[in-house]
Chains A and B, each alone.
Chain A
Amino acid sequence: MRIATVLKVLGILLVLSSLTLLPPAIISFTLSDGAHRAFLTSMGVNLLVGLAFWLPHARKKTELRFRDGFLIVVLIWVVLSLMASLPFVLLNHPQLSVVNSIFEATSGLTTTGATILTGIDSLPMSVLYYRQQLQWLGGMGIIVLAVAVMPMLGVGGMQLFRAETPGPVKDNKLTPRITETAKALWFIYLGLTLVCGVSYYLAGMTVFDAIGHAYSTIAIGGFSTHDASLGYFESNAVNLVAVVFMLLSSLNFALHFAAFRSRKLHVYLRDSEAKIQYFLIVLGVIVCSAVLSRFNVFETLESTVVQSVTQVVSIATTTGFTTTSFASWPLFLPVLLILLSTAGGCAGSTAGGMKIIRIILLFKQGAREISKLVHPNALIPIKLGGKPVSDTVINAVWGFLSLYLISYVILLLLMLGTGADLVTSLSAVSASLNNLGPGLGSVAENYASITDAGKMVLAFAMLLGRLELYTLLVLLTPMFWKS
């Protein structure tokens, strides 16, 4: 472990992240809503801590190893979550405890979208903006951003990149060079956000709401500037824009890159992972509409279809926008939706969950075992898009599943231990681990009623989910720390 190098990179990233506090501070100044002091103080602290890490080691030049990569990524996420909670702690309105602040900041950065706030509509604009921006920064990942703008991270950048990007196959680079890849990813991200924002504006949102919701839609976050989330707008146009962009962001960004480069749209229809994503969502919508009309939850067919499309896409992609209180739907539906969110989006997207590609591989592996019972001597390669998948990837996926289940059970027990009821615990752990946001029971609206200990457990679950288990769990093994 080369602590000096780790601290140096961490310091640079902190200095970089301190810049992100500038926009909310400016908004606060222009509107003079009294929150600027909190933002500027946090920015100063961020900057000083960053410099304190960076400057003593500024001249150290060693290449990062794999291990250092894991450590840096986890440290940056933990430290950044703590730093991001600082403005919440310092604010006078809303007045938040330290634990609440950490929960809110972590939920924002990991694009979970669970909140402990009530009365969001009455918060200062700058605070609202800050929450949305946190999601946007966490969506593509601050490290990918850093790799894009700082070529100095160089080869070590790859190690960080791999530890942060989601999906089981980490080496499908878009371009030969890592900085170019990172830049390409951020351009796509920026482009999508821009188009999404304009669409929201045209669909009738105010400029502020359009920007804020574009941030949290493309990041698959789920924070909103209103208590009623998307339901506040009561507009089919807004729902449609949200559905389209949530779907786009839940696809692998390599697809967007390929589509952009070849200027052909058929890549979206050919990718085997994307096809399963569409299939799951269509299936979910059909089942959802059928059950809703069976129980006559909505009065008209139109609102039944609109609500099920919006809600299925929002939950299945792990965004977590709500247009109606889906938790009060017949219990079959919320549970189904939360299970869908466990599958999540595609690898290489901003979505959470286990990722569709892992589900496909698990399913195919299961099917292979069954075929082997019939043909004991058959060689059955597992293929994806016509290409064989190596056994190391498949083993890693199985490992992921077992770790996911074990983590889930442990987190569930911890939550129950804090005194929460079963439905609340089950859904809260799922919603956090999948970076979804809203749950059932007492966390259907917000997480204010959870105990402090429970909030910390859930915040940990969010980080675990965002870093896809391995990156965070590897730090907890004694092996990692032995030289």
Chain B
Amino acid sequence: MKIIILGAGQVGASMADILSREENDVTLVDINDRLLTNLQDRLDIRAVLGVASSPEVLEKAGAEDADMVLAVTNSDEVNMVACQICHTLYQIPKKIARVRNPAYLAQEKLFCDHSIPIDVIISPEQIITNQIQRLIEYPGALQVIDFADGRVRLVGLKAYYGGALVGHELRELKDHLPSVKTRVAAIYRQDRAIIPTGTTIIEPDDEVFFIATQEDIRRVMKELRTIEEIGRKVIIAGAGNIGYQLAKSLEDAKFQVKLIERNTERARYVSEQLEDTVVLNGDAADEELLREENIESMELFCSLTNEDEANILSAMLAKRLGARRAMAIVNRSSYVDLIENSVLDIAISPRQSTVSALLSHVRRGDVVAAHSLRRGVAEVIEAIVHGDEGTSKLVGRSLGEIKFPKGATVGAILREDALIELHKETVVQDGDHLIIFVIDKKKIHEVERLFQVSATFF
């Protein structure tokens, strides 16, 4: 596929990295020469220097025969104009753009083929807010991913002593929870992936990924670790877009929220917009302030400012002062590896989340969702099976018969929005949603190919 990526920032660079490794022709456009030179040395891509919305630059980047454009510059306006130009002048079929400003996002009429033609809009702030909310719903979870519009979820968590299943074989799960349909899809032990079978024994400190319907998730989590009640008291540090939106949705869900913001004007503005939230003007790393606000009785401390270092340090401080759990936004992936599960409970990477969201739209076949797991080591995709026995490589065949590429396992099958039991004999039908773990990301293309229907289908 020929893909043009506009903007070589963190998201643009990550996407270029991922996509170029999957044998796409990637062209990266940016106005920063040094950024481009650096990336071009590392990645197998072409770089074009210039303003992303200029037709001249786009033409140089090969817009005439491109299949997709990803507009992820740091300006909403440039992204939107670039998509417009790609549509009008070059008829690029798929246009994906990042738009941050909620004022644009609120206007649904804006984004359609005859005004601003963007097929998919990615808003990192919204994605992060949702993600944090899920994590608050399931204390102890490291990652929560929605499938089938949230009816089925994938949860990743660390197993601890105290969970009923820890130290036992996986097949006992069925005896423990006879009415629950769930499936452990992958286990990471000391950073190595294990393909789980019935006789796999879960050890403490394993990172376990399981799939279950929304209502069963907490029961399954209880099997793997002692589980805390959802805390109702939350402190958020940083009232940027993410902090503000999170506070708003948490107060709607009847949480007790305190929001700390350093900038007086922003703090006043936010306090006027929010109803029940207590907005505090001050420094989140101020020990006195945190004590004053009863940090020791807080269930959760979220530091969501723009600075990685400030986020990490203030979250560490809050944890030391007695907050039960602390999470922080951390953009640098090298920091994430350093701190997660040691000094902090969860590190959220906006970059990673944005990349995940973008991935699901870049994937071919009928892939409806694609997410990076474990900071990009693995990927999980949800794809819909189409066709009949003649045209599809999957329909009418049992799981035992289908040749999945090595390193790819079926985590679950959703049929009419319900999880079905998986055996070797389970036969795939038209319309099934397959959730597939891909541990070796090089095999993603092969997995995608499985879902493509041969031409006679049409």
Residues of A whose CB lies within 8 Å of any CB of B are 66, 154-155, 157-158, 171, 173, 175-178, 180, 390
How far is it, in angstroms, between the C-alpha of A390 and the C-alpha of B37 when the chains are bound? 12
Flag if B43 contacts A155 (CB, 8 Å). yes
B37 touches A157 (CB 8 A): no
Q: Are B43 and A175 in contact (CB under 8 A)?
A: no
**Nearest 5 Cβ contacts at the A-B interface:** A176-B46, A176-B25, A178-B44, A173-B46, A155-B44
Asked if A171 and B47 make an inter-chain contact with CB atoms under 8 angstroms apart, the answer reads yes
Q: Can you report 30 residue pairs joining A to B where beta carbons are below 8 Å apart?
A: A66-B41, A154-B44, A155-B42, A155-B43, A155-B44, A158-B41, A158-B44, A171-B37, A171-B40, A171-B41, A173-B40, A173-B46, A175-B25, A175-B46, A176-B2, A176-B20, A176-B25, A176-B26, A176-B27, A176-B45, A176-B46, A176-B62, A177-B20, A177-B23, A177-B25, A177-B44, A177-B45, A178-B44, A180-B25, A390-B33
Whole-angstrom distance between the alpha carbons of A162 and B25 in the complex?
Answer: 19
Residue of B nearest to A157 (CB): B44
Give chain B's interface secondary structure class: mixed
B37 CB contacts on chain A under 8 angstroms: 171
In the complex, residue of chain B having the shortest beta-carbon distance to the beta carbon of A159: B41
Interface residues of B in 15-48 (CB under 8 A from A): 20, 23, 25-27, 33, 37, 40-47
Additional A-B contacts beyond A173-B46, A176-B46, A177-B45 (6; CB < 8 A): A66-B41, A154-B44, A155-B42, A171-B40, A177-B44, A180-B25
Task: Select from chain B the residue with minimum beta-carbon distance to A392.
Answer: B37
Report the minimum CB–CB distance from A396 to chain B (whole Å): 13
- Cβ contacts under 8 Å, B41 to chain A: 66, 158, 171
Q: Across the interface, which residues of B come within 8 angstroms of A390, CB to CB?
A: 33
In the complex, A157→B45 CA distance in Å? 12
The minimal Cβ–Cβ distance linking B184 to chain A, given in whole angstroms, is 29
A218 to chain B, nearest CB (A): 26
Q: In the complex the two chains form, what is the Cα distance from A155 to B22 in whole Å?
A: 12
Closest to B17 in A: A155
A279 nearest CB across to chain B (Å): 28
A66, A171, A390 — which one has the most chain B CB atoms within 10 A of its CB? A171
Chain B stretch 34-81: residues in CB contact (< 8 A) with chain A? 37, 40-47, 62
Residues of A within 8 A of B2 (CB): 176
How long is the Cα–Cα vector from A212 to B209 in the complex, in angstroms?
64
List, in ascending order, chain B residues with CB within 8 A of A158's CB.
41, 44
Assembly CA distance A175 to B27 (angstroms): 9
Closest approach, in angstroms, between the C-beta of B442 and any C-beta of chain A?
10
Considering residues A154, A155, A180, A390, which has the most beta carbons from chain B within 10 angstroms of its beta carbon?
A155
Contacts of B62 in A (CB 8 A): 176
Give the residue name and chain of the B residue nearest to A387 (CB): B49
A215 to B47, CA, bound (A): 34
Docked CA distance A173–B39 (Å): 14
Q: What B residues does A178 contact at CB under 8 A?
A: 44
Which residues of chain B come closer than 8 Å to A176, judged between CB atoms? 2, 20, 25-27, 44-46, 62
CA distance A178 to B45 in the complex (A): 8
Q: Could you tell me the distance in whole angstroms from the C-beta of B240 to the nearest C-beta in chain A? A: 36
Residues of chain B with a CB closer than 8 A to A171's CB: 37, 40-41, 47
A66 to B40, CA, bound (A): 13
A157 to B33, CA, bound (A): 22
Nearest neighbor of A173 in chain B, beta-carbon distance: B46
User: How distant is the Cα of A49 from the Cα of B111 in the complex, in angstroms?
Assistant: 62
Q: In whole Å, how far is B65's beta carbon from the nearest beta carbon of chain A?
A: 11
Task: Give B3's nearest chain A residue, CB to CB.
Answer: A176
The docked-state distance in angstroms from the alpha carbon of A158 to that of B41 is: 7
A-chain residues with CB within 8 Å of residue B26 when the two chains form the complex: 176
Bound-complex Cα distance A177 to B22 (A) = 11
Whole-angstrom CA separation of A155 from B18 in the bound complex: 13
Residue numbers in A under 8 Å from B33 (CB-CB)? 390
A458 smallest CB distance to B (angstroms): 34
Please measure, in the bound complex, the distance between the C-alpha atom of A180 and the C-alpha atom of B23, giving whole angstroms.
11
Q: Which chain B positions have C-beta within 8 A of A173?
A: 40, 46
**Shortest beta-carbon distance from B45 to chain A in Å:** 6
Distance A176 CA – B26 CA, assembled complex (angstroms): 6
A155 to B41, CA, bound (A): 9
Chain A residues near B23: list those with CB within 8 A.
Answer: 177
Q: How far is the CB of B377 from chain A (nearest CB, A)?
A: 15
Q: What is the minimal beta-carbon distance from B378 to any residue of chain A, in angstroms?
A: 17
The smallest beta-carbon distance between A290 and chain B, in angstroms, is 44
Instruction: Give the complex CA separation of A400 and B26 in angstroms.
Output: 32
Return the chain B residue nearest A158 by Cβ.
Answer: B44
Bound-complex Cα distance A157 to B44 (A): 9
CA distance A176 to B1 in the complex (A): 11
Q: How far is A171 from B44 in the complex, measured between Cα atoms in Å?
A: 11
Cα A12 to Cα B311 in complex, Å, equals 49
A144 nearest CB across to chain B (Å): 15
Chain A nearest CB from B4 CB (Å) reads: 10
- Kindly state the separation between the CA atoms of A4 and B40 in the bound complex, as whole angstroms: 25
A66 to B42, CA, bound (A): 9
Minimal beta-carbon separation of B221 from chain A (angstroms): 36
Min CB gap A146→B, angstroms:
15
| Measured CA separation A177–B20 after assembly (Å) | 8
* Minimum CB–CB distance for A136 against chain B, Å: 27
Most chain-A Cβ atoms within 10 A of its Cβ — which of B33, B37, B41, B46? B46
What distance in Å separates the Cβ of B230 from its nearest Cβ neighbour in chain A? 44
Q: Residue of B at shortest CB range from A156?
A: B44
B303 to chain A, nearest CB (A): 35
CB neighbours (8 Å) of A154 from chain B are 44
Collect the chain A residues with CB atoms within 8 Å of residue B46's CB: 173, 175-176
B192 to chain A, nearest CB (A): 16
Chain A residue nearest in CB terms to B49: A387
Name the distance in Å between A143's Cβ and chain B's nearest Cβ: 15
Q: Nearest-CB distance from A170 to chain B (Å)? A: 10
Once bound together, how far apart are the Cα atoms of A155 and B40, in whole Å? 10
Given the complex of chains A and B, what is the CA–CA distance between A390 and B43 in angstroms? 22
> Bound complex: CA of A180 vs CA of B25, how far in Å?
9
Q: How far is the CA of A390 from the CA of B2 in the complex (A)?
A: 29
Closest to A154 in B: B44
In the assembled complex, the CB of B29 is this many whole angstroms from the nearest CB of chain A, namely 12
B33, closest chain A residue (CB)? A390
Q: A390 CA to B42 CA in the complex, in Å?
A: 20
Q: Which residues of A contact B27 (CB under 8 A)?
A: 176
A91: shortest Cβ distance to chain B, in Å?
Answer: 42
How far is B25's CA from A175's CA once the two chains are assembled, in angstroms?
Answer: 8
Task: Determine the distance from Cα of A390 to Cα of B47 in the docked complex, in whole angstroms.
Answer: 16
Bound CA–CA A224/B42 (angstroms):
42
Question: Which residues of the partner chain A approach B44 to less than 8 Å between Cβ atoms?
Answer: 154-155, 157-158, 176-178
Closest B residue, CB atoms, query A181: B46
Q: In whole angstroms, how far apart are the Cα atoms of A154 and B442 in the complex? A: 13
CB distance from A206 to the nearest CB of B (A): 44
Give min CB distance, B260 to chain A, whole Å. 43
CB proximity of B436 to chain A, nearest CB, Å = 24
- B45: chain A residues at CB < 8 Å are 176-177
Residue numbers in A under 8 Å from B42 (CB-CB): 155
- Measured in the bound complex, the distance between the Cα atoms of B46 and A175 in whole Å is 7
Q: How far does the Cβ of B12 sit from chain A's closest Cβ, in whole Å?
A: 15
- Cα distance A184–B44 in the bound complex, in angstroms: 16
Instruction: For the complex formed, measure the closest distance between the CB of B16 and the CB atoms of chain A, giving whole angstroms.
Output: 10
Chain B residues with Cβ below 8 Å from A157 are 44
Compute how far the CA of A154 lies from the CA of B25 in the bound complex, rounded to whole angstroms: 13
Specify which chain B residues have a CB less than 8 angstroms from the CB of A180 in the assembled complex: 25
Report the separation of the CA atoms of residues A243 and B41 in the bound assembly, to the nearest whole angstrom: 37
- Roughly how many angstroms separate A155 CA and B45 CA in the complex, as a whole number? 9
The chain B residue with its CB closest to the CB of A151 is B23
A180 to B26, CA, bound (A): 12
Residues on the B chain within 8 Å of A155, using CB: 42-44
CB distance from A383 to the nearest CB of B (A): 15
Instruction: Identify the closest chain B residue to A66 (Cβ).
Output: B41
* Shortest Cβ distance from residue B441 to the other chain A in the assembled complex, whole angstroms: 14
Residues of B within 8 A of A177 (CB): 20, 23, 25, 44-45
Q: How far, in Å, is A263 (CB) from chain B's closest CB?
A: 15
Q: How far is the CA of A175 from the CA of B65 in the complex (A)?
A: 13
Q: How far is the CA of A83 from the CA of B141 in the complex (A)?
A: 60
| Minimum Cβ distance to chain A for residue B24 (Å) | 8
